[in-house]
Amino acid sequence: MDHAKLLNKVDHTLLAQGATWEEIRQICDDAIRFKTASVCIPPSYVKQAKGYVGDKMKICTVIGFPNGYNTTAVKEFETRDAIANGADEIDMVINIGWVKDGRYDLVEEEIRCIKAACGDKILKVIIETCLLTNTEKIRMCEVVTAAKADFIKTSTGFSKAGATFDDIALFASHVGENVQIKAAGGISSFADADEFVKLGADRLGTSRLVKIEKQQ
C-alpha cells in the first residue's frame, strides 16, 4: 500500500504528558496536510483543537488513560465531557484488573456504558495486549464484540510494549465482523504499517509515519 493510503489510516498521535499547545497545533496542521484519519490528543486540548481545525480533521481523545482503573462513572463523565468539547472519537482503556480477576461481565458493562455515552461517535477499546495472555486477548475480542464497540485497540503506548503482528492476526481471527482493529504503540516504519494493515488493522496509532513523510 502506498504511503498516502497508509497515512489515511493513521490516528496522528501526541499524548506525551508535557505536550504543549504549539505541539498540538503542529500535529493538527500535519494531520490535515497528510490527510490522516484523525489526531489523537489529550482531553485538555480537545476544545481548543476542535476550534482550530473545525471540520478539516477529526479529533480523537483518550479516556481512563493510560491505566484504565478509573471508576466507570469517571470514565463516563470524561467521555461526555470530551464529546461536549468536540471529540469525534474516543479511545478508552479497560480495567485490566477486572480482566485478571475474570470479571468480564464488568468489563463488558463498562464498555457498553461508554458506548452509550459516545452516542454516534466512534469508540475504540484499548486492552493493553502486552499485559494479557492470549486467552485473555481472545476473551476480550469476544467482550468488545458483544459490547458493540467500534474498534479493539492493542495498546496505550505507555506500558511495556506496543502492537505486534501476532496480536493483530489474533484479533482478526476472533473479533466480530462489525469490530475494526487499531494497532498502536511502536509502529516506526511504513513497512511495518503496511504489514499491520495486511494482517487486519484498520487504524494505526502513531506519530512516526507523518514524521518520516515530512522528511522525504
**Catalytic residue positions, numbered:** 91, 153, 182
Residue 182, H or E segment: strand 180-184
How far is the CA of 74 from the CAs of 64, 70, 122, 147, in angstroms? 8, 6, 19, 19
Cell of 40: 489523537
Taking a C-beta distance cutoff of 8 angstroms, is the pair 71, 57 a contact?
no
CA distances from 134 to 127, 129, 168, 171 (A): 12, 9, 12, 10
- Give the angle subtended at the CA of 183 by the CAs of 193 and 14, to the nearest 5°: 90
DSSP string, 140-173: HHHHHHHTT-SEEE---SSSS----HHHHHHHHH
Residues 202 and 192: their CA atoms lie apart, in Å, by 14
- Rounded CA separation 189/49 (Å): 27
CB 212 within 8 A of CB 13: no
Extended beta strands in 26-150, E state: 38-41, 59-63, 89-93, 122-126
